Amino acid sequence: MTDTTSGSYVSPRRSTRLNALLPVLLLATYFTASFVLRLLRGGDLASDEAQQVALSHALQFGYGDQPPLYNWVFYCFAKVFGVSVDTLAFVKNATLLMSCLFLGLAARKVVGERDTAWISILGFLSLPAVFLLSQRDLTHSIGAFAVVALFLYVLTLVAERPSAGNYALLGAAAGLGFLAKYNFAIIPVATVVALLLEPSLRRLVLNWRLTVTIAVGLAVVGPHVYWAVTHLDAATGDTVTKMRAASSHGMPLQLIAALELVESILKCCALTIAVLAVVYRGHLRTIFAASSEWTRVIGWTLVISMFLVFVIMLAVDATMMRPKWISIFFVAFPLYLACKVDAAGVHIPGAISRLTVLVGAMIFISLGVVFAGSFH
């Protein structure tokens, strides 16, 4: 490769290394900027942050209508670094970074090209719940993002090496997911069904070691479940009440629920699809027509999860669904897209660099808007 302006030669290998450094630079810059800007915003706490501070005085099996994992993590860091905005910002950004790490590791297990694996991380950053809602006021959902990414990574480990140890790790990840967000319980159920639908991976479910997964998962969640049963008043929140928001429409409740869910799904994933479409324009038909065992497993997991969410909505007569309530399910969506691109065999020179620039511009603009809005 020759630079026509200077006459110098840039080797393809060096160009590849430079392109590979761009996403790393984006991650480092973005999370550093997120941390610094949160400190500059000062000590005015959002509602979720205020809850973390208020509950950081003791380590308990349960605290209220939200599961305790994120509270436990913040408690540990607060004991070392003190209860402060610094600690709040560090825990939040470190947890989001861990989500990126585990998604990247999962992608490397199931995607052939290293560059293509970056789609899972960059796609995660393009989710509105990540670059927008998390910068405003999310805590428990952020913890759930990391555990969903961990669960996906361990699932790929189990597929690669179905040992008792990996099955135990899968159970631990599933248990931690429930302790991060109660609706995470849908994901392991949907995953089991999706694996049973895939002949090449069905063996992972029809394996005695799955009992190890169940046993470890129950052991992890057991103490908190006991607390919840013995503190029903504290553990029962108003989420169902919010989901039953009164509707002035003359439509059947089932139709309202379906429309609400579809709208939330689109809000969760439409922007990520749009970003990918810009970078891979001209190849979209090939990408979305491509299929592999992992596109099918992840795709079916997402579909079954949304079906179960809809069933729950019908069961409680819900007429409202906010995107943030189902955002944890879409942590898997960028990994699904990475597997789709890999299955299609589409390799466009500089695609990941363009995706990095596009996602970077979007998330930094959003970060600036959130920062500016905090002073009004």
Kindly give the confidence (pLDDT) of every residue in the chain, 376 residues in length, as a single tens digit, with 9 standing for 90 and above: 444 434 444 455 555 666 678 999 999 999 999 999 999 988 788 888 899 999 888 889 988 888 999 999 999 999 999 999 999 999 999 999 999 999 999 999 999 888 999 999 999 999 999 999 999 888 999 999 999 999 999 999 999 999 999 999 999 999 999 999 999 999 999 999 999 999 999 999 999 999 999 999 999 999 999 998 888 776 666 666 666 665 555 678 888 889 999 999 999 999 999 999 999 998 999 999 999 999 999 999 999 999 999 999 999 888 888 999 999 999 999 999 999 999 999 988 889 999 999 999 999 999 999 888 776 5
CA distances from 228 to 65, 165, 176, 181 (A): 9, 29, 16, 14
Q: What is the DSSP string of 75-119?
A: HHHHHHH-SSHHHHHHHHHHHHHHHHHHHHHHHHHH-S-HHHHHH
Answer yes or no: are the C-beta atoms of 104 and 117 closer than 8 Å: yes
Integer Cα distance of 160 and 150 in angstroms: 15
Q: 48 lies in which domain range?
A: 19-352
Q: Would 370 be classed as within a structural domain?
A: no
Integer Cα distance of 263 and 48 in angstroms: 25
Q: Would 358 be classed as within a structural domain?
A: no
Q: Would 13 be classed as within a structural domain?
A: no
Number of domains in the chain: 1
Model pLDDT, residue 12: 52
Integer Cα distance of 61 and 67 in angstroms: 9
Triad 194, 198, 201: Cα angle to 5°:
100
DSSP 61: S
Integer Cα distance of 376 and 94 in angstroms: 27
CA distances from 161 to 2, 10, 112, 251, 294 (A): 45, 41, 18, 50, 16
CB-CB neighbours of 87 under 10 Å: 19
Model pLDDT, residue 7: 42
Answer yes or no: are the C-beta atoms of 335 and 116 closer than 8 Å: no
Q: Would 366 be classed as within a structural domain?
A: no
Model pLDDT, residue 151: 98
CB-CB neighbours of 212 under 10 Å: 19
Q: Would 357 be classed as within a structural domain?
A: no
Q: Would 118 be classed as within a structural domain?
A: yes
Answer yes or no: are the C-beta atoms of 286 and 344 closer than 8 Å: yes
Integer Cα distance of 154 and 188 in angstroms: 12
Answer yes or no: are the C-beta atoms of 56 and 151 closer than 8 Å: no
Q: Would 77 be classed as within a structural domain?
A: yes
Q: Would 30 be classed as within a structural domain?
A: yes
Model pLDDT, residue 271: 96
Model pLDDT, residue 376: 59
9 SS3 class: strand
Integer Cα distance of 138 and 54 in angstroms: 15
Answer yes or no: are the C-beta atoms of 132 and 327 closer than 8 Å: no
**Helix segments in the chain, DSSP class H:** 12-41, 47-54, 69-81, 85-110, 114-125, 128, 134-137, 140-160, 164-180, 186-197, 210-230, 232-235, 239-243, 253-279, 284-289, 293-315, 323-326, 332-344, 351-373
Integer Cα distance of 263 and 260 in angstroms: 5
Answer yes or no: are the C-beta atoms of 55 and 139 closer than 8 Å: no
